A and B are shown apart, each in its own frame.
Chain A
Amino acid sequence: MDFALTEEQQMFRDLFRDFAEKEVAPLAEHNDRTEEPPIALLKRAASQGFMGATLPEQYGGAGMDFLTYCLLVEALARHCLATSAALGIHTMLSAMTILDAGTETQKQTYLPRLAGGELGTFALTEPEAGSDAGALQTRAVRDDGHFRLDGVKSWVTNGGPASVHVVLALTDPGAQRHGLSAFIVDAKTPGLTVGHREPTLGMRSLDIRTLYFDDCRVAADNLLGELNQGWPLVLRAFNRVRLSLAAAALGAAEGALALGVKFAVERRQFGAVIAEKQAIQNYVADCAIEIEALRHMVEHTAWLADTGQEYGPQASMAKYFGARVAHETANKMLQVHGGYGFSDEYAISRVYRDVRALRLLGGTDEMQRYAVAHDIFQDQGLKIQP
Chain B
Amino acid sequence: MDFTFSPQHVALRQMLREFCEQELAPRAKEVDRTGLQDPAILRWMGELGMFGIPFSQEYGGAGAGEMGYCILMEELNRACPSTATIIGAHIGIAAMSLYLDGSPELKRRYMPDLCAGRTIGAFGLTEPGAGSDAAGIKLRATLEGDSYFLDGQKMWITNGPIADVIMVLAVTDPALGARGGATCFVVETDWPGFSAGKPEKKMGLHGSPTSLLNFDEVRVPKENVIGQVGMGFVTFMKTLDIGRVSLGAATLGGASVALDASLRWVKARSQFGRPIAHMQSIQFKLADMATEIEALRALVYRTAWLVDSGRPFVREAGMCKLLGSETASRCIDRALQIHGALGVSRDFHLERGWRDARIAEIFEGTNEIQRIVIASELLQEIGVRIHP
Contact = CB atoms under 8 A, between A and B. Distances in A.
Q: Do chains A and B touch in the complex (CB under 8 A)?
A: yes
Interface string A338-349: 110111110001
B203 A279 contact: no
A365 to B, nearest CB: 7
A356 B131 contact: no
A179 interface: no
A359 B281 CA distance: 15
B107 interface: no
B359 A342 contact: yes
A386 B272 contact: yes
A342 B204 contact: yes
Contacts of A366: 279, 281, 337
Contacts of B368: 277, 279, 335
A315 B204 CA distance: 34
Contact of A339 (B337, B345, B354, B363): B363
A343 B347 contact: no
B156 A339 contact: yes
Interface in A172-216: 198-202
Contacts, number: 105
A135 B271 contact: yes
Contact of A201 (B136, B202, B272, B346): B346
Interface residues of A, number: 42
B271 A335 contact: no
A369 B337 CA distance: 14
A334 B358 contact: yes
Nearest to B131: A338
A318 B201 CA distance: 35
A296 B321 CA distance: 38
Contacts of A334: 358
A341 B362 contact: yes
A200 B203 contact: no
Interface string A351-367: 01100110111001110
B344 A360 contact: yes
Nearest to B363: A339
B351 interface: yes
A3 interface: no
A385 B368 CA distance: 43
A273 to B, nearest CB: 12
B310 interface: no
A269 interface: yes
A181 B336 CA distance: 32
A134 to B, nearest CB: 9
Interface in A108-140: 125, 128-132, 135
Nearest to B134: A269
A334 B354 CA distance: 14
A366 B282 CA distance: 9
A371 to B, nearest CB: 13
A128 B269 CA distance: 9
B156 A360 contact: no
Contact of A270 (B132, B337, B367): B132
A339 B126 contact: yes
A155 interface: yes
A270 B341 contact: no
B340 interface: yes
Contacts of B344: 200-202, 356-357, 360
B278 to A, nearest CB: 11
B133 A335 contact: no
B371 interface: yes
A109 to B, nearest CB: 32
A199 B361 contact: no
Contact of A344 (B131, B201, B361): B201
B203 A342 contact: yes
B271 A130 contact: yes
Contact of B341 (A132, A155, A338): A155
A345 B273 CA distance: 46
B362 A335 contact: yes
Contacts of B279: 366, 386
B203 A353 contact: yes
A298 B112 CA distance: 63
Interface string B260-299: 0000000000111100000101000000000000000000
Given A200-B345, A338-B366, A269 B136 contact: yes
26 contacts: A125-B341, A129-B271, A131-B271, A132-B271, A132-B272, A135-B272, A155-B341, A200-B345, A201-B346, A201-B351, A270-B133, A279-B371, A339-B126, A339-B156, A339-B363, A342-B204, A343-B202, A345-B201, A349-B202, A349-B203, A359-B337, A360-B341, A364-B340, A369-B281, A386-B271, A386-B272
Interface of A: 125, 128-132, 135, 155, 198-202, 268-271, 277, 279, 334-335, 338-339, 341-345, 349, 352-353, 356-357, 359-361, 364-366, 369, 385-386
Given A201-B355, A342-B362, A360-B344, 17 more contacts: A131-B272, A135-B271, A135-B272, A198-B347, A199-B346, A200-B351, A201-B344, A201-B354, A269-B132, A270-B132, A279-B368, A335-B362, A339-B126, A344-B201, A344-B202, A356-B336, A366-B281
Interface of B: 126, 129, 131-133, 136, 156, 200-204, 270-273, 279, 281, 336-337, 340-341, 343-347, 351, 354-355, 358-359, 361-363, 366-368, 371, 388
List of 10 A-B pairs having minimum Cβ-Cβ separation, nearest first? A199-B346, A344-B201, A132-B271, A201-B351, A269-B133, A349-B203, A201-B344, A270-B133, A386-B272, A342-B359
